[in-house]
Structure 1
Amino acid sequence: MPKKENTTKSFVLRVDAATMDAIEKWAADELRSTNGQLQWIINEALRKSGRLKKSKRKKDEGEETDD
């Protein structure tokens, strides 16, 4: 049986306490985990800067983007 490819990578991130507190509060306000909020923040920054490729799934499903 072929091994499934892992699509996520883990890494250590160091942030100061005030930044982490703000991220945790923001995550709670958005009903996300801290990890989920960080992923969302990074994804949004990449998307807005044009550095994130459009996902094949969204293209295939015909979803609109707000670009």
Structure 2
Amino acid sequence: MPPKKNFPLRLDPKLYEVLERWAQDEFRSVNSHIEYLLRDAALRAGRLPSARPAPPSDPAGEQALAPPKKGANAGAEQPEE
């Protein structure tokens, strides 16, 4: 992983207190909580690629159909167990 970028950040003292309490509630440092919040905001805004691969899209907008069931009772409902 590449090294993290260091830079000074000036915050309103009251906002820092809120972040400090919030970080404690989440068992994080203030620095890591700010990074978490910024990463989450960037993901939600679509500015950061998701860590999870997106599900494949169907250009026709149709869902794949399940193969037909085989056997005599193919269309019958199964009793609950």
TM-score for both structures, normalised by structure 1: 0.70
Q: Secondary structure at the match of 1:14?
A: coil
Q: Deviations over 1:11-61 (max 9, x none)?
A: 110001000000000000000001110000100100000000234xx44xx
Equivalent of residue 39 in structure 2, options 14, 39, 43:
43
Give the equivalent residue in structure 2 for 1:31: 27
Gaps of 5+ in 1: 60-67
The CA RMSD measured in Å over matched residues stands at 1.5
Aligned-partner SS, 1:53: coil
Within 5 Å, which residues of 2 pair with 1:1-67?
Answer: 6-55=2-51, 58-59=52-53
Q: Normalized against structure 2, the TM-score is what?
A: 0.59
User: Unpaired segments of 5 or more residues in structure 2?
Assistant: 54-81
Question: 1:8 Cα shift?
Answer: 1.3
- Which of structures 1 and 2 has the larger relative contact order (alpha carbons within 8 angstroms, sep 6+)? 1
Q: How many residues align?
A: 53
Identity %: 32
